Structure 1
Amino acid sequence: MQPDVQMFAKPFDAVVIGGSYAGLSAAMQLARGRRNVAVIDAGKPRNRFATASHGFFGQDGAEPARMIAAAREKLAAYPNVYFVADEASDARGHEGAFTVTLVSGPMLEASRLVLATGITDILPDMPGLADRWGVSVLHCPYCHGYEFGGAPLGVLATTPHCAEKALMITEWGPTTLFLNGQPMPDAGVLAKLARRGVTIEPSRIAVLDGEERTLQAVVLADGRRIAMAALYLTPRTVMASPLAERLGCSFEDGFFGPIIVTDGKKATSVPGVFAAGDAARGMHNATWASADGVTAGAAVHHSLIFEGLDAA
C-alpha cells in the first residue's frame, strides 16, 4: 500500500493536477521513468456526462469511467505513483520548488507541475438541455455521431461557426439548423446550406423533449414539435481550475474559449510548468488529451534528467 502523501517527506519529482486522460498519460511516462509522481484528482472529468467514448484507439464504445478506472489500476502498479483524491486549491513557486495546496489543507512540494486541469462547458440556459448533455445533446459528431446515423439531427446556433457545423453534421443525417433567435446567415452561407440540404429554423426553442436523457423532439416557442434524435452545439468553455492563471501562465484565444499557451513539448510560459489536455489545446477529444499527456510526461522527465547537466 502506498503511504499517505502527508508522510512523504521529500518533494515529488512532479505533481500532476488532474487524473483523466491527459493527467494519467503524463503520470505513466514519469512512473516508467522511475520518478516519484503524485496525481491529484477530484474525480470530475469533462466527459463524465457521456455513457460511452468513441474513436479512442482500442477503446471504441467504452464507458469513460471504466477507461479511467482501468488506467488508474495500471498506474497504481507502480510504487512511485501516489494518488490524491482531492482538489488543488492553489499552486505557487518556481521551477524546482513548487508548492500545491489541497482543498483539504495539506501541501505537496514538487520540482515540476503538469496541469491537466481541463475545461468546463458553459451550456445554453434552455429547458431540457443540460439533462441530456453528453447523451443526446452533443458537441462532437466524431465522438457521438455514428450511432445517430440517418436520424433527424439538429445544430443549435451558439457561435458564428454554427452554420459550418450544420454543413458537417449532414454527413450523419438530415440536419436542421436552429437559429433560436440568432441572425440569419448571409446569402453565401445560405447557398451552401441549401446545397447540403440543411433546413433553417429561425424560431426560438421552448424546450427539448424526450424520455429521460434521450431526445425525441425540439419544441418551438410557437408550439411546433420537430422530431429530433440528437442536437449538436458548440458551447463556450472556461478553465476548470484557476491554477494556470495563478501560476502566471500565458493564455490565448482558442476555438471555444481561452487555452493555456504551450510549446511542442507542452511546456507553458512558466518554467517547470507543463500543461496537457483540453485546457491546453484548441481541438478536443480523448485521443488528443492522452497524446498530449504522453508528450508532457516525457518532456518533464527529460527536463529533470538534463537540469543538473545544463547547470554544470
Structure 2
Amino acid sequence: MRTNFDVIVIGGSYAGLSAAMVLGRSLRHTLIIDGGDPCNKRTPYAHNFITHDGESPLEIAARAREQVLAYEYVSRIEDQATELDGEDGAFILGTTTGTTYTAKKVVFATGLHDGLPDIPGVLECWGKTAIHCPYCHGYEIRGQPTGLLLNNDHVPFMTRLIGNLTDELTLFTNGPANFDVQEIEGSGVRVMQQSIDELQHEDGNLRAVCLADGTAVPLTAFYLHPHLSQRCALPEAVGCTLDEDGFLQVDDRGLTTIAGIYAAGDCTTMMRSVAYATGSGNKVGAMVNAGLLL
C-alpha cells in the first residue's frame, strides 16, 4: 500500500466518506483513516435524510464505504491518527500502528464526544429513547409522554420546540431551576426540580424517570443535551482554533485556521445529523480539490 497521498481524511463516517468520494472522483489519491467507532452506533434508525429515512445508520455507513472504496484512488485503513507535522503541501502523519503517511492536504472529519450526565440508565437508553435532537427523532415519538433535561436560558425555546411534538412534556432541572418556572408551567409544561436518581428502562426502552424523593414519572422518551467536546486532540495540537462553543473554526471552504488543514461534519457545528455531515463532507471535498489546483 502506498504511503504518500494527495489528501488524508481523518475520520471515516458520513462527512469523511463524502469528502473522500468527491476526491476519488477527482482522481486524487486519498487515504481515509477510520477508528471505526461512530458516535451514533447505538442509534437503531436514521431519520430526516432523504432516500435513507428510517434506515440503520450503520448500514448507511457500510454501503457508503463500499461505494467510496470502489474508486481506485481511495484507500481506507482502520487506525488512529496520533501525530501530525509539516505544512501545507507537505504534511506528515503518524498512527498508532507506527506507520507514517504524507499528504498535501488533511481533512478532519473526527466528530464529537458525547459527555453524558452521570445518571444511571442514561447510557443504556442513549440513542434509542434518550435522545438529543427533535429533528432526528421527534416525529417517531410524537404525542408520547416525553421528558427534557435542561436548566439554562434555552428552556423557553426548547420547551416550545418539543412541545410542538407532544402535549405531554415534563421538564427536569435536576436541581433548583435557573429560569422563571411560572412562565414555563403557564405554557402547559410540567416542571420537576428534584434530583434525578435514574432512568428506569428495559433494554434501553425508557419506562420512567425516578427522582430522589421517590417520585417516578412515567415516560417513553427523554431529551438531553450532552456536553460536547472534540473526539480527536490532533487539530488543537497542531494549532487549529476552536470557537467559543468548542467546534473547529472553519471558513466557507471548510478551511481551518491552519493552511492546508480542512474540517467537515460534526466537529465543526452543532447541526449534528447524517444529512448535514454528508453535505458538509461533499462541499469540503470539492474545496480541497480546488485547493490542490492552486
TM-score normalised to structure 1 length: 0.91
Partner amino acid, structure 2, of 1:280:
T
Partner amino acid, structure 2, of 1:131:
E
Alignment of 1:135-174 (within 5 A): 135-157=128-150, 159-173=152-166, 174=168
Partner amino acid, structure 1, of 2:224:
L
Q: Secondary structure at the match of 1:143?
A: helix
Q: Which runs of 5+ in 2 are unaligned?
A: none
Distance 2:77 2:18 in 1: 16
Distance 1:206 1:164 in 2: 26
Distance 2:241 2:178 in 1: 36
2:198 to 203, 207, 231: 207
* Partners of 1:181 and 1:203 within 8 A in 2: yes
1:296 to 261, 269, 284: 284
Distance 1:72 1:16 in 2: 13
* Partners of 2:125 and 2:201 within 8 A in 1: no
Partner amino acid, structure 1, of 2:279:
A
Does 17-26 or 42-51 show the bigger shift? 42-51
* Partners of 1:30 and 1:297 within 8 A in 2: yes
Distance 2:86 2:151 in 1: 39
Alignment of 1:120-135 (within 5 A): 120-135=113-128
* Partners of 1:158 and 1:234 within 8 A in 2: no
TM-aligned CA deviation for residue 160 of structure 1: 3.7
* Matching residue of 2:169: 175
Distance 1:122 1:169 in 2: 22
Aligned length: 293
* Partners of 1:156 and 1:162 within 8 A in 2: no
Distance 1:18 1:31 in 2: 16
TM-score normalised to structure 2 length: 0.96
* Matching residue of 1:58: 51
2:179 to 157, 177, 185: 185
Distance 1:64 1:170 in 2: 27
CA deviation digits over 1:233-273, x for unaligned, max 9?
1111010001111121111023xxx0111011101111100
Alignment of 1:41-120 (within 5 A): 41-120=34-113
Distance 1:182 1:14 in 2: 50
Does 153-162 or 227-236 show the bigger shift? 153-162
TM-aligned CA deviation for residue 195 of structure 1: 4.5
1:229 to 214, 220, 223: 220
Partner amino acid, structure 2, of 1:198:
V
Alignment of 1:256-275 (within 5 A): 258-275=246-263
Partner amino acid, structure 1, of 2:285:
G
1:248 is the counterpart of 2:239:
yes
* Partners of 1:162 and 1:233 within 8 A in 2: no
Identity %: 38
Distance 2:234 2:175 in 1: 37
* Partners of 2:152 and 2:179 within 8 A in 1: no
* Matching residue of 1:37: 30
Q: Secondary structure at the match of 2:44?
A: coil
TM-aligned CA deviation for residue 146 of structure 1: 1.2
* Partners of 2:30 and 2:73 within 8 A in 1: yes
1:21 is the counterpart of 2:37:
no
Partner amino acid, structure 1, of 2:229:
V
TM-aligned CA deviation for residue 163 of structure 1: 4.2
* Matching residue of 1:310: none
Partner amino acid, structure 2, of 1:144:
H
